[in-house]
Structure 1
Amino acid sequence: MTMLQVTSLLIVLAGAFGAINYLFLRLPAAIGILVVALAASLVILGLDLVVPGFVFDDELRALIADIDFSEALLDGMLGLLLFAGALHVKLEDLRAEWVTVALMATIGVGLSTVIIGVGFSWVTGMPLLIALVFGVIVTPTDPVAVLGVLREADLPKALETKIAGESLFNDGVGYVVFLVLVGIAFPAGEALGDSSLQSAGLLFVQEAFGGALLGGVLGWLTFRVMRRIDDPSLEVLLTLGLAFGGYELAIWLHVSAPIMAVVAGLLIGEVGPKGGMSEETRRHVDAFWFMIDEILNAVLFLLIGIEVFAVVFSGDVLLTGLAAIALALVARLAAVSIPILILRPFREFANGTIPVMTWGGLKGGISVALALSLPDNDWKPLILGATYLVVVFSIIVQGLTVARLAARVSREPELDV
């Protein structure tokens, strides 16, 4: 199938599954599409087991292989999704929470990676370096999933900013750490030419700080151009060019494209309305990026649902996946609570910050894409299967209950935060 045919099919399916969810399930839109897509996929897999000669699942596997989920997300959709998410996070709000966000996106990512990696190595017998790669795959909270849930939950402003800001930045930091660890664990297959700590450190600095610098420069240049223009359609086009072109430029320059998209989105969202956009332009830009966000969310969650065809399940994979879910939750608790306990003597936190941020740290398509992008090796099927189970549990179980958890703990006296 051509790219246009594949894109058309995905949009049609996303619309159809979204309608099924709206009419019958009434779940949050993105989660509902995932549930319907996953259910349809499992029905097809079940028919393959009981109906002799059933070949439709083989055709779907071939189609999914043509889509290349990892490339579609990491080199295509991710830039738009991160830019759209950052565009609606107010820099003023984020500035008040920047220390908490920074600690969770750095120390938190490191702690979670190590806890999951060591535990997964112990459970499976996997070499520690490869297990650490799995740890960083399931560590980042997916901003797409998290920001979607925030729309449904009535959270205190400070807590909402912490969750949104951390999900945007730990995604970029996690991706950089993934590149470093893959380069060390699979030196012939990926980013690093050797496994020295010096090379790993240089790569991290180049990716993280280079991406932030590029996002700031491109965002500022775009803002300066927008100040001289009063044409809503053209200014929307400029923001789209910034998201698309900046992301591809970051990939070409070998700096972190996700961090570039987040920084550029934050800058345009902050300074644009104050001096670069008229009120009419601001409404156009907000409406455009809201629709882009909603459409790509729907397609992404559809892809996660049908990606089950790329996973080889067995009894061992299912048991390992359950262990991985437990490890991911324990690691998430440490990644949230330790930075908060460090800051606790110096500032106050809203009731229920630790439980809400722990349970609300949803995983998503980025984790699946990173697992699929691994070099072929004996452990890849197990990593992919465990990652998929962690993501599905996170989105469906945690995603559907975090709003109720937030409503309950926010009314209780502050005990643990």
Structure 2
Amino acid sequence: MTAISGVEFLVWLLIAASIIAVLTKYLRIPYTVALVLGGLLLSVLHLPFLSPLQPNQRPNWLTPDVILILFLPALVFEGSVKIDVRDLLRDAAPLLVLANVGVLLATLVTGYLIHWAIGVPILIALLFGTIISATDPISLLAIFKDLKMDKRLSVIISGESLLNDGTAVVLFQIVLAGALAGGLSARNGIAQFLWAVIGGAVLGSALGYAASKITQTIDDPQIEITVTTIVAYGSYLLANHLHLSGVIATASAGLIVGNFGAKRGMSPGTRTALESFWEYIAFVMNSLVFLLIGLEVHIDSLTRAWRPVFFAIAAVLIGRALSVYLLVPMSNFFGEKIPLRWQHVIVWGGLRGALALALALSLDNTFPYRDRILDFTFGVVVFSILVQDLTMKPLLKVLGLAVGRA
């Protein structure tokens, strides 16, 4: 049977996402959980009207590179354009430490624990460590808003996620190249990391500033939103072409557009339209990513691998705990202290989501241990949503941090 067109495939995914979104209103389960479960259900039900979503019917253009290019710029730009840079600067020390040293430490701990406990080759284990090191606070921030949590804690959670996305992707690319080449060079890796991070930040800031100046000369919401779309994807593509970090370039561009262009060069109506547009785009992209992981993972493989998946979850939690409990107290010397109760929330609130899934899915089908990495990633993401997310409210109450409604 020939593959259906890409447009038809996406339409089917959106239909599935819309139905699941409506059902979650009545079932009272997290939308992201429902999407993954829905994807799994669609992959095992061989009903005639669901045939377009079967594995052998997926479009040929949905390659690993397309998955990254399609999803990451939109998700990263939406996350950065709505953050107040003044809030980030207030907690610059802990955010920078967690997003850089913390990601590296968590990657090393996770990788070596998996290598030791499961016997996966060290470079493959470290590659998984990079994939799973980025956090995704979407559902967590909704809980914070519902319980009227301290704004600073929300900024720390969302700011760390924004910054560690870029670090995780750069480390992923470095370790992936090493795995394909059969070895890593520490000197070359450090040089490549600094070049990608610093260069990406400079390029993205410059493009964000240029886009902001353009929107100042235009008073048309549709054109201004189009300019932001161009800079979101353009900064990512140009940075990758120059061997810089596309994620960091897009995040930097989003920060500049959100804090300079939108506030100084856009009317209130345009700013509202801009926020609504990017919120919708992020909703669509997150929906597609979570559905795709459900469609991609084989349930029988995950069931057979329950023991190594359990070890992977434990390794990720240990890596997260060490990175927070070791590094945050050090960063407390350089700014306003983050109390221990908040550190507990930061550890348990290190949810994994769309970026981890996108990185795992981006691995070529012929990549060694790809299925094992997908099993690990799927298991950790589902655990973080089903267990960590659903137990966050009770934890906040036990810690005496919840002040809003239950």
TM > 0.5 fold call: yes
Bigger Cα displacement from structure 2, 226-235 vs 293-302: 293-302
Q: Which residue of 2 aligns with 1:112?
A: 106
Residues 349 and 280 (structure 1), Cα distance of their counterparts in 2 relative to 1, 3 Å cut: same
1:7 aligns with 2:10: yes
Query: TM-score, with normalisation over the residues of structure 2?
Result: 0.89
Q: Residues 137 and 174 of structure 1 are in contact (CA less than 8 Å); yes or no, is this contact kept in structure 2?
A: yes
Q: Residue in 2 aligned with 1:415?
A: none
1:14 deviation in Å?
A: 0.6
Matched, 1:405 2:395: yes
Structure 1 length-normalised TM: 0.86
- CA displacement at 1:142 relative to structure 2: 2.8
Query: 1:93 is matched with which residue?
Result: 87
Give the C-alpha shift of residue 360 in structure 1: 1.1
Distance 1:377 1:31 in 2: 27
Mapped partners of 1:145, 1:256: distance in 2: 26
Question: How many Å separate the matches in 1 of 2:59 and 2:95?
Answer: 37
How far apart, CA to CA, are the structure 2 residues paired with 1:339 and 1:124?
Answer: 27
Please show how residues 221-300 of structure 1 align to structure 2 within 5 Å: 221-300=210-289
- Note the C-alpha offset of 1:143: 5.4
- TM-superposed CA distance for 1:297, in Å, is 2.4
C-alpha contact (below 8 Å) 2:286/2:354 kept by paired residues: no
Gaps of 5+ in 1: 189-193, 413-417
| Corresponding residue for residue 30 of structure 1 | 32
Distance of 1:112 and 1:99 partners within structure 2: 18
* 1:302 and 2:305 matched: no
Checking the alignment, whether the CA contact within 8 Å between 1:362 and 1:398 is kept in structure 2 is: yes
Which of 332, 344, 354 is 1:344 aligned to?
A: 332
Amino acid at match of 2:101: I
Asked whether the equivalents of residues 351 and 411 of structure 1 are also in contact (C-alpha less than 8 Å), the reply is: no
Q: Name the residue aligned to 1:327.
A: 315
Relative distance call for 1:361 and 1:67 in structure 2 (3 A) is: farther
Equivalent residue for 2:178? 184
> Which portions of structure 1, spanning 4 or more consecutive aligned residues, are displaced by more than 6 angstroms?
56-59
2:290/2:357 contact within 8 Å kept: no
* Separation (CA, whole Å) in 2 of partners of 1:85 and 1:380: 28
State the shift of 1:147 in Å.
5.2
CA contact (8 A) 1:351 1:410 kept: no
Q: Does 1:211 align with 2:200?
A: yes
Q: For 1:5-154, what aligned pairs fall within 5 Å after superposition?
A: 5-22=8-25, 24-38=26-40, 40-41=41-42, 45=44, 60-64=54-58, 66=60, 68=62, 70-142=64-136, 152=146, 154=148
Are the counterparts in 2 of residues 143 and 171 from structure 1 also a CA contact under 8 Å? no
Q: Which amino acid aligns with 1:224?
A: K
Contact 2:110 2:316 in 1 (8 A): yes
Cα distance in 2 for residues equivalent to 1:322 and 1:411:
30
Q: 1:77 to 1:383 in 2, by over 3 A?
A: closer
Partner of 2:301: 312
Matched with 1:196 is: 185
Aligned to 1:356: 345
8 Å contact from structure 1 (residues 219, 264) kept in 2: yes
Distance 1:122 1:213, change over 3 A: same
Counterpart of 2:308 in structure 1: which amino acid?
A: T
Contact in 1 for aligned 2:175/2:184 (Cα 8 Å): no
Distance 1:240 1:313, change over 3 A: same
Contact 1:94/1:161 (CA < 8 Å) preserved in 2?
yes
1:328 maps to a residue whose letter is: V
What CA distance in whole angstroms lies between the structure 1 residues aligned with 2:326 and 2:119?
28
Count, aligned residues: 397
Which one is further off, 239-248 or 5-14? 239-248
Q: Percent identity?
A: 32
Choose from 386, 397, 402 the match for 1:396.
386
For 2:337, what is the secondary structure of its paired residue?
A: coil
Moved more, 2-11 or 148-157: 148-157
Is this contact kept in 1: 2:200–2:248, CA < 8 A?
yes
Kept in 1: contact 2:297–2:374 (CA 8 A)? no
- What residue number does 2:151 align with? 157
CA distance in 1, matches of 2:400, 2:253: 33
Q: CA deviation at 1:314?
A: 5.0
CA distance in 2, matches of 1:150, 1:397: 17
Matching residue of 1:170: 164
TM-aligned CA distance change 1:145 to 1:252, over 3 Å: farther
Change in 2 beyond 3 A, CA 1:379/1:181: same
- Preserved contact between residue 84 and residue 259 of structure 2 (Cα < 8 Å): yes
Question: Given the superposition, is the C-alpha separation of residues 182 and 130 from structure 1 closer, same or farther in structure 2, using an over 3 Å criterion?
Answer: same
- 2: distance between equivalents of 1:377 and 1:292? 30
Gap change, CA 1:31 and 1:84, over 3 Å in 2: same
Supply the AA of the counterpart residue of 1:134: F
CA contact 2:211–2:261 (8 Å) conserved in 1:
no
